[in-house]
Structure 1
């Protein structure tokens, strides 16, 4: 039994576009599809090389308390076209009820067209643990210490 996530269509959404779906039985991410405004459904949305844009999904969600939805890139779009998420992974909090959009960025060398109904990202439902922050005078010592970027070397 999966975590119940409620989906609501937006008024102007094309309800023939598939809702988020897992493409295989063991998939961690459900594919999200572009649900474009009627004015650009036939032509799609062009993302020029180096540009980014918000692609609508035509829906909003109700995520249960204690969970989030992470929006992640699709590896095929990244490899073949340089298309990824500008804020990967994106987070949708349980208390957000607005339209779901995906910020795509084109790291490729050519313009890319997002067609109506294209799979544009994946959503992963994940549990959330909130921290209890505590200001202290000292932190415990570790072998690594304050070694930062690249401090553990290559193996």
Structure 2
């Protein structure tokens, strides 16, 4: 399966997989100069690319675990959702939840794109829902694994 990718800027880098088993495609910061990410601040980082996701899929933008664990750099909305009919530039909202500034370099891998199959059920009103063992038990209702 191919993923059509259009470079919107000259310095954009096409997404890559770090290994053959990598689920996500690494996305690269399309910046003209380094960007200092200050603690507690929010940033929108462009990729310089647009993609044509296959019909029946969704693109999920996720953070890179190394940036999150080592430097506190994460996505500001946890996971970004890219609809299959969107053709604009991919960008990710980042935040620095660490206690030190981090300098994001032009061309640095900063997020990843997962392309995932999606179901599109049609919501319908229901007077009752099918019963389950859990029922209406909410947060913590199933106990802690021992």
Q: TM-score, normalised by structure 2?
A: 0.93
Residue aligned with 2:66, SS: helix
Total equivalences in the alignment: 145
Q: Following the alignment from structure 1 to structure 2, what is the Cα–Cα distance between the partners of residues 146 and 125?
A: 32
Contact 1:46 1:114 in 2 (8 A): yes
Q: Following the alignment from structure 1 to structure 2, what is the Cα–Cα distance between the partners of residues 88 and 5?
A: 24
Contact 1:30 1:123 in 2 (8 A): yes
| Unmatched tracts of structure 1, length 5 or more | none
Q: Following the alignment from structure 2 to structure 1, what is the Cα–Cα distance between the partners of residues 10 and 138?
A: 46
2:4 — aligned with what? 6
| 2:30 equivalent among 28, 31, 35 | 35
Residue aligned with 2:70, SS: helix
Please say which of residues 135-144 and 21-30 is displaced more in the overlay: 135-144
2:83 — aligned with what? 93
| Unmatched tracts of structure 2, length 5 or more | none
| 1:84 equivalent among 62, 74, 84 | 74
Change in Cα spacing, 1:87 to 1:27, as seen in structure 2 (3 Å) is: same
Across the aligned residues of Structure 1 and Structure 2, the Cα RMSD in angstroms comes to 1.2
Structure 1 stretches of 4+ moved >6 Å: none
